[in-house]
Amino acid sequence: AQKVTQAQTEISVVEKEDVTLDCVYETRDTTYYLFWYKQPPSGELVFLIRRNSFDEQNEISGRYSWNFQKSTSSFNFTITASQVVDSAVYFCALSEGRDDKIIFGKGTRLHILP
Amino acid sequence: KAGVTQTPRYLIKTRGQQVTLSCSPISGHRSVSWYQQTPGQGLQFLFEYFSETQRNKGNFPGRFSGRQFSNSRSEMNVSTLELGDSALYLCASSSLSYRDRGPYATNEKLFFGSGTQLSVL
């Protein structure tokens, strides 16, 4: 069965600190997709990244970076030099290759304090 | 390009009533998915429509139903409302369905609306 676990319910850091959001997933499929979404206070989910199970390369996009490790079934998200605008709920999600359903983790609420 | 539009933004109903939520996807998108978000359960998948056909369904009772029209707009209906149905209902659209994806497709993603906040009293 598919499952996504975000063990950190809530994190608070001071602006400019680096912060890592953890995501652990479970799936029996060899083909799957992992996602990160950001949900600011407005409620609209914003797509951040999609990663295929075939591609374990880490990715960096500006202050955001993602560490995908199949050996530990983890897909962690790091924000470098955090800013107040990064405050939001972040969701990790999993979709199996044969299915259109996306299973979300419970989310991590991130507070960036000025 | 207009984003995903959900109406209404807020809705208050009483137990036993029924409600219909609307979602207009991004122009050209044929896939529409619905999600329920609650503080306790998080984001849960309801169902997905592609070209007017329901492709996938989550683990929700039959009171939750949906449909998609020929212009890809979708509606979600909840009958006999219960207090536990209070939630933020999110709709997402996509240009591709899984049959169109390959393992190396990187451009497919869901675009979410702002949601409809439903309160059942």
Is B104 in Cβ contact with A43 (below 8 Å)? no
Contacts of B56 in chain A (CB under 8 A): 99-101
CA distances from B44 to A91, A113, B107 (A): 12, 30, 23
Phi, psi of A21 (to 5 degrees): -105, 125
B104 close to A54: Cβ distance less than 8 angstroms: yes
Out of A31, A42, A47, closest to residue B114 by CB: A42
Give the pLDDT of residue B104.
Answer: 44
Is A35 in Cβ contact with B109 (below 8 Å)? yes
Contacts of B47 in chain A (CB under 8 A): none
Which residue of chain A comes nearest to B99, CA vs CA? A98
Average confidence score pLDDT of chain B:
88
pLDDT tens digits for range A66-76: 999 999 999 99
pLDDT tens digits for range A22-43: 999 999 888 888 999 998 887 7
Segments of chain A with pLDDT less than 50: none
Give the pLDDT of residue B105.
Answer: 47
The nearest CA of chain A is from the CA of B80 a distance in Å of 26
Contacts of B48 in chain A (CB under 8 A): 100-101
Give the pLDDT of residue A71.
Answer: 93
Asked whether residue B120 carries a pLDDT value surpassing 60, the answer given is: yes
Burial B3-41 (b: 16+ CB within 10 A, else e): ebebeeeeeebeeeeebebebbbbeebbbbbbbbbeeee
For residues A71 and A38, give the distance between their C-alpha atoms in angstroms, rounded to a whole number: 25
* Length reported for chain A: 114
Whether residue B87 lies within 8 A of chain A, CB to CB, comes out as: no
Give the pLDDT of residue A113.
Answer: 95
For residues B93 and B112, give the distance between their C-alpha atoms in angstroms, rounded to a whole number: 7
**Percentage with pLDDT > 90 across chain B:** 59
Residue B67 — pLDDT band, cuts 50, 70, 90?
Answer: very high
pLDDT tens digits for range B96-109: 665 455 444 444 57
For residues B117 and B17, give the distance between their C-alpha atoms in angstroms, rounded to a whole number: 16
Give the pLDDT of residue B101.
Answer: 52
Q: Which of residues 5-64 of B touch A (CB under 8 A)?
A: 31, 33, 35, 42-45, 48, 50, 55-56, 58
pLDDT tens digits for range B6-47: 999 999 999 999 999 999 999 988 889 999 998 888 889 898
Give the pLDDT of residue B15.
Answer: 97
Test the A interface: residue of B30, B43, B68 with most A CBs within 10 Å: B43
